[in-house]
Amino acid sequence: MITAYVYNSCTSCRKTDEVLKQSGVPYARREFFKERFTRDELAQVLEGAGLTASNVLSRRSRVYKERDLEHADLTDDQLLNLMVEEPTLLRRPLVLDGEQVIVGHNEPALREMIERAQTA
């Protein structure tokens, strides 16, 4: 089962959502700005995907720039706490299927994921 973590105001998320909808493949969708992650839940999602908080840190977000996180020496644990507090720090969309993880809108990778789901 494909799971997409999205933010409705995000252009990349809307593109990914549209590709998934048009594919007809069933998928779970979670708007993580409305239904926020708990710290443990986000840690589990990232760990299950083989990712760290550093791997999914949005370095283009306003909060990243405002807090000057580029020059902060933060651990993944500290980043995780910040991501729960400020979801804009999490790159999006985040799409998982148990085999692959896609961070950001990557249509070719998404189509491969959909094809796997359709043949499973």
Q: Say which CATH number the domain at 8 has.
A: 3.40.30.10
Residues 75 and 43 in one domain: yes
Residues 16, 5: one domain?
A: yes
Residues 46 and 80 in one domain: yes
Helix (H) or strand (E) holding 41: helix 39-48
Token readout for 27 is 């998928």
Task: Let me know whether 56 and 25 are in one domain.
Answer: no
Question: pLDDT tens, position by position, for the chain (120 residues)?
Answer: 999 999 999 999 999 999 999 999 999 999 999 999 999 999 999 998 899 999 999 999 999 999 999 999 999 999 999 999 999 999 999 999 988 999 999 999 999 999 999 997
- Within a 13 Å sphere around the CA of 99, how many CA atoms are in the beta-carbon half? 11
Q: Are residues 57 and 44 in the same domain?
A: yes
- Looking at the structure, do residues 51 and 72 belong to the same domain, yes or no? yes
Q: 48 lies in which domain range?
A: 39-90
Q: Are 30 and 40 in contact (CB under 8 A)?
A: no
Number of domains in the chain: 2
